[in-house]
Amino acid sequence: MQIASMHFKERAHDNMGNAQLQGNLHKIKGKFVAKRRESLVELDDFEATREAARAIRQRALDRLDVWLEIFEKNATARGATVLWAETPDEVNQHVLDIAKRHGVRKTIKSKSMVSEESALDRAIEASGGQVVETDLGEYILQINDYEPPSHIIGPALHKSKEEVSDLFAKVHGTARKTGIAELCLEARGVLRTHYLTAGMGISGGNFFVAETGSVVVVTNEGNATLTTTLPKVHVAISGIEKIVPTLEDVATLMRLLPRSATGQSISNYVDILTGVKGKGEFNGAEHMYFILVDAGRSGVLAGELKEALRCIRCGACMNHCPVYQNVGGHSYGWVYPGPIGSILTPAYIGIENALDLPQASTLCNQCGVVCPVKIPLPDLLRKLREQQFERHLRPWYERAGLRAWSWLASRPALYALATRIGVRALKWMGGRERLIHRLPLGGGWTDARDMPSPAGKTFRELAGERQKNRGER
């Protein structure tokens, strides 16, 4: 996918001024946050379940190489082929090779964020093949000239029903529908024919299960079930970090994934796909491929951001992030938005290509407390900020300002003198109103806010005066 993360500020500005988008964002915020809260009440002990989920994901990461080998062995024993992709380009190459091998002309796809990293759809089309997205959100984006997704579980959440109505009428050449059910039926009608005529189905993978060599796919529309079982060839693509040791582990994680994501006790469909269609079996693909993608992950595994790989892609961090809620997913400029995206984007594509993302957070830690696998997101953002500071990837004046502050604050006598002068100057600037309307070098603050002016003397001065008066009495 094209990287636009360097334009975070401009995009955020545009998106905050887009009334339609703001309305859509407002609606989804209320829905996700409230539904998640309600669904968690069903769990006897959310914190204990969360700790168990964290431990499962961490255990997988701590010996990832071993689990991957076990997965490969078990998947292969069931007749599947396991392929490895070190780069996004290799993902596309594998898929094109598989299509060629099996003479595939049409490919259907259920949602895969990893395939967004490599812009797989475009690569298939460039090779002369046809690809149809079957997740409703992804389908909407595809027919809108491959608009980028704005959310990892609801890629088209930024769009209103009305916008989708217009789009369907234009692209399908049908009468404009207004009801959600009608729109879904129309999409279903279009997609059904593709399911039956496609030669290959591509899915993502929420989990790869090492002990059985299975892939677990979680959806609400049932499109993944059709995508993975109707065509002759099934290709499941996901990151190497998505491995879990056992099916038992999946059961624990599934107690939290749908609840954290959409506030559902369980998603409408959970497909566990193991091996190729056997003798006497009615369902399943005849050829099954797994593409396990590195694309930066092994580097993250070896570094201080490792915990980010525990992510199970529920989207709770973005749903609860006050910045995401206001600027929307497109502002982040790549595949993964919100707090987790602000960590994964610089980690996968280079911090120099996403300079704003680690900074664009108030570190309020709302993401950290809702994360079902306890990723300390603000701590990881701070680590990225440290890297930026060390590599001189922040403006010189910011660096100079921070250094000057710690230098001054380490020298109490000088600090006392400087702050005495400073607070008097600021008091004078605030005037009788006691509000500063314009701060030199502080335009970021005063463009849309006043700064209440200080009292004119520091607490330490006043405390010193009090002590003196007490002494004289």
Partner 1 sequence: MRVGFFVTCLVDLMRPSIGFAAIKLLEAGGAQVIIPATQTCCGQPGYNSGDRRGAIALATKLIGEFEGCDYLVAPSGSCTGMIKTHYADLFRDDPAMLRRADALGAKTWELTDFLVNVVKLESVPGKFVGTVTYHDSCAGLREMGVKQQPRTLLAKMPGLTLKEMTECETCCGFGGTFSIKYGEISSRLADNKCEFVAQSKADAVALGDLGCMLNIEGRLRRRGDMTIRVLHVAELLAGDAP
Q: Say how far apart CA 240 and CA 262 lie, in whole Å.
A: 25
Least distance to partner 1, CB of residue 5, Å: 15
Nearer to partner 1, 167 or 327 (CB): 327
Nearer to partner 1, 88 or 337 (CB): 337
Nearer to partner 1, 188 or 457 (CB): 457
Nearer to partner 1, 185 or 462 (CB): 462
State whether residue 404 is helix, strand or coil.
Answer: helix
Least distance to partner 1, CB of residue 356, Å: 8
Nearer to partner 1, 63 or 403 (CB): 403
Least distance to partner 1, CB of residue 69, Å: 33
Least distance to partner 1, CB of residue 436, Å: 9
CB atoms within 10 A of CB 287: 18
State the first-to-last Cα distance of the chain, in angstroms, to the nearest integer: 74
Edge-to-edge strands, sheet with 214-219: 243-244, 207-209, 214-219, 269-274
DSSP character at residue 350 = -
Q: Say how far apart CA 116 and CA 202 lie, in whole Å.
A: 13
What single-letter amino acid sits at 268? N
| Residues of the shown chain interacting with partner 1 in the complex, contacts defined by CB under 8 A | 9, 12-13, 16, 322-323, 326-327, 359-366, 368-369, 379, 382, 385-390, 394, 398-399, 402-403, 405-407, 409-410, 412, 415, 419, 422-423, 435, 442-445, 447-452, 454-455, 457-460, 462-464
Nearer to partner 1, 428 or 445 (CB): 445
Least distance to partner 1, CB of residue 394, Å: 7
Do the strands 451-452 and 435-436 form a parallel or antiparallel pair, or are they unpaired? antiparallel
Q: Say how far apart CA 139 and CA 146 lie, in whole Å.
A: 9
The helix (H) or strand (E) run that includes residue 239 is: strand 233-239
User: How far out from the chain centre does Cα 208 lie?
Assistant: 19
Least distance to partner 1, CB of residue 62, Å: 19
Q: Say how far apart CA 169 and CA 165 lie, in whole Å.
A: 6
The helix (H) or strand (E) run that includes residue 272 is: strand 269-274
Phi/psi of residue 79, nearest 5 degrees: 95, 5
Nearer to partner 1, 140 or 354 (CB): 354
Provide CB contacts within 8 A for 417, sequence distance 6+: none
CA 65 to each of CA 56, 71, 293, 408: distance values in angstroms, whole numbers, following the listed order: 15, 10, 13, 49
Nearer to partner 1, 428 or 459 (CB): 459
Least distance to partner 1, CB of residue 136, Å: 30
Q: Give the E-state strand segments of 161-252 in sequence order.
A: 200-203, 207-209, 214-219, 233-239, 243-244
Least distance to partner 1, CB of residue 406, Å: 3
Burial readout 209-226 (b: 16 or more C-beta within 10 A, e: otherwise): bbebbbbbbbbbbebbbb
The helix (H) or strand (E) run that includes residue 316 is: helix 316-319
Q: What is the DSSP string of 104-142?
A: --EEEE---HHHHHTTHHHHHHHTT-EEEE-SHHHHHHH
Least distance to partner 1, CB of residue 64, Å: 24
Nearer to partner 1, 173 or 444 (CB): 444
Q: Say how far apart CA 202 and CA 357 lie, in whole Å.
A: 31
Nearer to partner 1, 235 or 380 (CB): 380
Least distance to partner 1, CB of residue 472, Å: 18
Least distance to partner 1, CB of residue 346, Å: 13
Nearer to partner 1, 12 or 243 (CB): 12
Nearer to partner 1, 5 or 267 (CB): 5
Rg (CA), the chain: 26
Least distance to partner 1, CB of residue 410, Å: 5
Q: Say how far apart CA 294 and CA 238 lie, in whole Å.
A: 9
Q: Say how far apart CA 391 and CA 358 lie, in whole Å.
A: 14
Phi/psi of residue 266, nearest 5 degrees: -150, 145
